[in-house]
Amino acid sequence: MMSMADLVAKADGGSTHGPTLWNWPFPSLDVLNKACPAIPPSRDFTHGIESGFMAIRGGLRTVVDPLTQPLSWMLNDMLWLMTQTPWWIVIPVLMAITWVVTRSWRLVAFVLISIALLAFINHYTAAMETLAIIFVCAFICVLLGVPIGIAMSRSDRLQRIVIPILDMLQTLPPFVYLIPLIFLFSVTEPKLYGIAIILYAIVPVVRLTDLGIRLVDRDVIEAADAFGMTKRQKLFGVQIPLALPNIMAGVNQTIMMSLAMVVIASLVSAPGLGVLVLRGIRSLELGVGLVAGFGIVILAILLDRVTKASLARIDTSNSRG
């Protein structure tokens, strides 16, 4: 039986003075491995994760690949649509959408001016690519997030399971999402960044849908029950309409988060303004990076104002005194 100090002394190759109390090493895997090779170093542990992942990679691919293929198609089609359609059609269409959801001439003018400004400094295509990715990803976030939120609001158990997952998705550094995805798909596939953006941006819409439905006035729900509404009538006739302001606030947050992620996703071949920012960093082209960053700020303001204005419109038509 050797003491810890002897073990460490042996590991140091029998140097004359052993460790003092001051620089006593923590008995970590690597330290123990030096003393006794039977104990694996911690790189073996991360190797284990790698080979484990590689072992299930094939199976995971056969399941996830076809499931997510529509995302690639949608992204490709939307990118094609937004960049190949002539600017004199795209800009009026965007203005028309703004008018429909906000009914505000000021915002329509704002949309025109900001896009014209970006186009004038030759960032039009990049901006449209970024917008295309955001439209597709935010749409899918809402498509998946609202039903998940509704299901969570109806079952406390599901809520207890989902909330930690949402917390994790929200706190993981965005780059970390990319690591397993790079192994799973080839870097040229659009769904790679699509999935990363959706995972990152879906959190607020799920959370706020759940919250919104849970916050619906209990008295009103009781009245709906007392008049014999079915669960379905209650959901579509009472809960969703009354939760709509909160759901829309979630959609706004989701759009803003997709915009943040789309820049990071340019590391894995997402086109758009993010690529220019990346070029600015990689080849130290200060101007290119800053101007593209400024373009992202403009898009952010634009998306935020438009969604907030449509939210305000829902709020007033739905106000509770």
Partner 1 sequence: MTKNIKASIRHLYKIFGADPEAALERVKAGMGKPELLETSNHVLGLQDINVDIREGEITVIMGLSGSGKSTLIRHLNRLIEPTAGEVLVNGENILDWKEPQLRQLRRETMSMVFQKFALLPHRTVLENTGMALATRGIKKADFEAEANKWLERVGLGGNGGQYPHQLSGGMQQRVGIARALTSNSEIMLMDEAFSALDPLIRTDMQSLLLELQDELHKTIVFITHDLDEALKLADHLVILNDGSVIQQDEPQAILLNPADPYIEDFVADINRARVLRVRSIMSEGAPEGEVAGEVDLNDNLESVIAKAEGALDRRYRVLRKGAPVGSVAMPAIMRALVPRRSSGETAKR
State the residues that interact with partner 1 by CB under 8 A.
Answer: 217, 219-220, 222-230, 233, 237-238, 241-242, 317-321
Nearer to partner 1, 46 or 230 (CB): 230
Nearer to partner 1, 167 or 222 (CB): 222
- The minimum distance between CB 240 and partner 1, in angstroms, equals 10
- The minimum distance between CB 205 and partner 1, in angstroms, equals 21
- The minimum distance between CB 149 and partner 1, in angstroms, equals 19
- The minimum distance between CB 174 and partner 1, in angstroms, equals 37
- The minimum distance between CB 316 and partner 1, in angstroms, equals 11
CA quadruple 266, 271, 274, 275: dihedral, nearest 10 = 80
Q: How far is CA 251 from CA 51, 137, 255, 295, in A?
A: 38, 11, 6, 22
b/e burial code for range 301-315 (CB count within 10 A of at least 16 → b): ebbebbbebbbeebe
Nearer to partner 1, 146 or 203 (CB): 146
Nearer to partner 1, 1 or 226 (CB): 226
Rounded to whole angstroms, the Cα distance separating 83 from 100 reads 23
Nearer to partner 1, 158 or 220 (CB): 220
b/e burial code for range 178-207 (CB count within 10 A of at least 16 → b): beebeebbeeebbbbbbbbbbbbbbbbbbb
- The minimum distance between CB 209 and partner 1, in angstroms, equals 17
Nearer to partner 1, 146 or 275 (CB): 146
Say how many residues make up the chain.
321
Chain centroid to CA 37: 43
CA angle 205, 240, 151 (to 5 degrees): 60
Nearer to partner 1, 155 or 233 (CB): 233
Rounded to whole angstroms, the Cα distance separating 34 from 44 reads 14
- Helices (H) and strands (E) in the chain — how many of each? 14, 0
Nearer to partner 1, 86 or 228 (CB): 228
Chain centroid to CA 99: 28
Contact 100, 250 (CB under 8 A): no
Residue 103 is given by DSSP the state: -
The phi and psi torsions of 144 (rounded to 5 degrees) equal -90, -40
- The minimum distance between CB 163 and partner 1, in angstroms, equals 24
- The minimum distance between CB 215 and partner 1, in angstroms, equals 13
